[in-house]
A and B are shown apart, each in its own frame.
Chain A
Amino acid sequence: MDIRLVNLTKIFADKTSEVRAVDNLDIVIPSGKLIGLLGPSGCGKSTTLYMIAGLLEPTSGQIFFGEEDVTSLSAEKRGIGLVFQNYALYPHMTVKQNIMFPLQNMHLPKAEILERTQKYAKLVGIEDLLDRKPKQLSGGQQQRVAIARALVKEPKVLLLDEPLSNLDARLRLQTREEIKRIQRRTGITTIFVTHDQEEAMSISDEIVVMKTGVEQQRGKPQDVYENPVNQFVAKFLGTPPINIFTGKIENGGLYIGEEKIGESSLDDQEVTIGVRPEGFIVSDEGPLKVVIKHVEHIGRDISVVATHPNSEKETFRFIVESEIKLEEESEAHLAIKPAKCYVFDKITEERVQ
């Protein structure tokens, strides 16, 4: 079942001000896919999730589950499962009671309740922990219980609010694979919210990048990464982040400062140029003259911190193969791969090339 958000808007208003948390969001979430809502904090991604869940009422717009308009339906009638950021496991109930709770509310026969509880406990790998209280579990285990509790109703949609943010780095890697596995096994349409682009890119079938309540771009993670529509998306995706330079287009040439780094068919204008860290080539003929400040060996590659007078930040960072020898505090010449170089309008920050 696909989910459609039509002109979805949420305005939080009080006496003195109003905030458009979500602004005219139009998204179609395809059936059975894992979708990541991605954006910096305050971009309205959690608000969107809570509106889909039915915990927040949209100011305007509609939400469709398949053909059914669920906008005015209350949360419990929507058939969704939600995993909260801090899991919200009932502290006074055992794991088993937590998972059984939604089923008991549905007044299912006891045998079925137990059978389903077992099934989903097994699916998320917590069948040995059923008699423990949430307090006696690690963060990762609590997370699994929360997922089991959300799934046990066999909902049509699974919603996850920052599912990995409370886990440590190692557990995060493990859990995100787990989420992916569970989603594939159950084939349930899943939406999850995160501010961590790496997390979103690694497990999502599609990502939706949001900024101040407005959808910026939607697509397969790699497509969005390779073809960002604007400077915001380009900057938000990728670690280390994209490097931004001030530049210009003049007589069909693309310049950073006075150094011609490529061609352009656009009219002469001032532009902002973004280059991914992996988009640089060290070459004596390269047009870009930089000063190497610091070289970090990270195994297969080296990560280089360098300065250039037209860099937006004081330093910028690029990644090249470790065979290349670079001296700190020396000058180097760089060429730029055209595919890793994006040209943005200086004012609107929209991508122009």
Chain B
Amino acid sequence: MVEGKKGINFLKALLYLSPAIILMAIFTFYPLINTFIISFKLDYNDLTGDYSGWGFANYVKVLSSAVYKTALVNTVIIAFVSVPLSIILSLLISVALNSIKPLQKFFQTVFFLPYVTNTIAIGMVFSVMFTSADKGLINTIINSLGGQSVNWLGGNNNGITLLPNVFNPNNQVFSSQWFTSMLVLMFYIIWNSLPFKILILLSALQSIDKQYYQAAQIDGASKGRILTKITIPLLSPQIFYLLITSFIGAFKEYTSVVAIFGDQAQPVGGRHNIATVVWFIYDKMGDASIGAMGLASAGAVILFVIILVLTLFNNLVAKKKVHY
């Protein structure tokens, strides 16, 4: 009797879940699996479904493509710079916000604004703010402080270049122009990713029992020690959650690039040198030539493997470092 009941319950559960499962199957699972398959089909024509054979040729092509290499390096740089920086910043901001009483709500709103505004719109505002011409907002500020305009997004040959010894202006890809452009992009990505992190960390902070802080005060802990020995360990589950999701998010960075640098992912005079992996995938998908979809798929699978490995590694670290 119990067995029969279990069976009915299972069928019921299946019935209730079926709308979600069917939609997911059509729009998520099937495309996921198909991407894997397509990535191994040679000269795949996505309109007719024809292909000339199976093999790793798409992977070889993608991995030897200069644009994909640029995209991969850019993506890795974005992930490993923006994620730690934005987590540290949001942690400091949350702790500061949590410790002030007056205006807390006001500042919370200010920091939350980027979250409710459109990424493309803000990106376009950024590209205007950072325009390399002397009339751009940032350059105007620099000029009024007595500095020289910076050639942020390219096209202003009179603008100064940053770190000229490290990044050779004559480099094809990682030129000094690439560096200043990446600087703007990084600034945008970090600023844009702060609100969600602050939201998570602030609510976590507010749910920490005040008695821990009273105990720490009586134990004579300094402010710095309270932060590193009490607050951060108690936030470690949330920090870890943010670390994983932000890494995945950073590896999928695309909208910000297109918003600031346009659909060619390049500053004026560049050559797709701000490309990211997802930009590469979209670029290939938009390419009408035979076999481009196979390249896009291979690019996507490589990205998947990188994210998978990284997340597994993160999990490994978390087991050791995330408390309770």
Contacts and interface: CB of A to CB of B under 8 A. Distances in A.
A84 interface: yes
Most chain B beta-carbon contacts within 10 A, residue among A54, A75, A106, A153: A75
A345 B25 CA distance: 82
Nearest to A84: B211
Contact of B211 (A81, A88, A133): A88
Given A88-B209, A91-B234, A92-B323, A102 B214 contact: no
A82 B218 CA distance: 7
B212 A55 contact: no
A105 B222 contact: yes
Contacts of A76: 217-221
Interface of A is mostly: loop
Nearest to B236: A92
Given A91-B323, A92-B234, A105 B214 contact: no
Contacts of B219: 76, 101-102, 105, 149, 153
Interface string B294-324: 0000000000000000000000000000011
Interface of A: 53-55, 74-76, 80-82, 84, 86, 88, 90-93, 101-102, 105-106, 133, 135, 149, 153
B225 interface: yes
B233 interface: yes
15 contacts: A75-B218, A76-B217, A82-B215, A82-B218, A84-B211, A84-B214, A90-B215, A91-B324, A92-B236, A101-B229, A102-B218, A102-B219, A105-B220, A133-B324, A149-B215
B230 interface: yes
Contact of A88 (B214, B225, B236): B214
Given A76-B220, A105-B221, A135-B324, A92 B233 contact: yes
Contact of B215 (A84, A92, A106): A84
Nearest to A78: B218
Q: Which among B209, B229, B230 has the greatest number of chain A C-beta atoms within 10 A?
A: B229
Interface string B182-215: 0000000000000000000000000001011011
A278 B286 CA distance: 95
Contacts of B323: 91-92
B218 A55 contact: yes
Contact of B212 (A90, A105, A133, A149): A90
Contacts of B217: 55, 74-76
A106 B220 contact: yes
Interface string B34-57: 000000000000000000000000
Nearest to B232: A92
Contacts of A86: 211
A76 B230 CA distance: 16
Contacts of A81: 218
A76 B226 CA distance: 13
A133 B324 CA distance: 9
A104 to B, nearest CB: 8
B262 to A, nearest CB: 47
Nearest to B214: A55
B215 A88 contact: yes
A76 B221 CA distance: 8
Between B212, B215, B216, the greatest number of chain A beta carbons within 10 A of the residue's beta carbon is seen for B215
A248 B125 CA distance: 88
Contacts of B233: 90, 92-93
A53 B220 CA distance: 12
Given A88-B209, A90-B212, A105-B225, A80 B324 contact: no
Contacts of B209: 88
Contacts of A90: 212, 215, 229-230, 233
Nearest to B217: A75
Nearest to A102: B219
A291 B159 CA distance: 105
A53 B218 CA distance: 8
B314 to A, nearest CB: 19
B324 A88 contact: no
Contacts of A80: 218
B241 to A, nearest CB: 16
B211 A101 contact: no
Contacts of A92: 233-234, 236, 323-324
B272 to A, nearest CB: 46
A106 B220 CA distance: 7
Contacts of A91: 234, 323-324
A88 B218 CA distance: 12
Contacts of B236: 92
Given A75-B214, A88-B209, A91-B324, 10 more contacts: A53-B218, A80-B218, A82-B214, A84-B211, A86-B211, A92-B324, A93-B233, A101-B219, A105-B220, A106-B220
Interface in B227-254: 229-230, 233-234, 236
Contacts of B221: 76, 101, 105
Max count, chain A CB within 10 A of own CB: residue among B209, B220, B233, B323: B220
B110 to A, nearest CB: 26
A309 to B, nearest CB: 50
A263 to B, nearest CB: 55
**Considering the complex of A and B, which 5 residue pairs feature the smallest CB-CB distances, nearest first?**
A92-B323, A76-B220, A88-B211, A102-B219, A92-B233
A90 B230 CA distance: 7
B319 to A, nearest CB: 14
A54 to B, nearest CB: 8
Contacts of A88: 209, 211-212, 214-215
A244 to B, nearest CB: 39
A101 B222 CA distance: 11
A149 B233 CA distance: 19
A159 to B, nearest CB: 9
B219 to A, nearest CB: 4
Interface string B108-152: 000000000000000000000000000000000000000000000
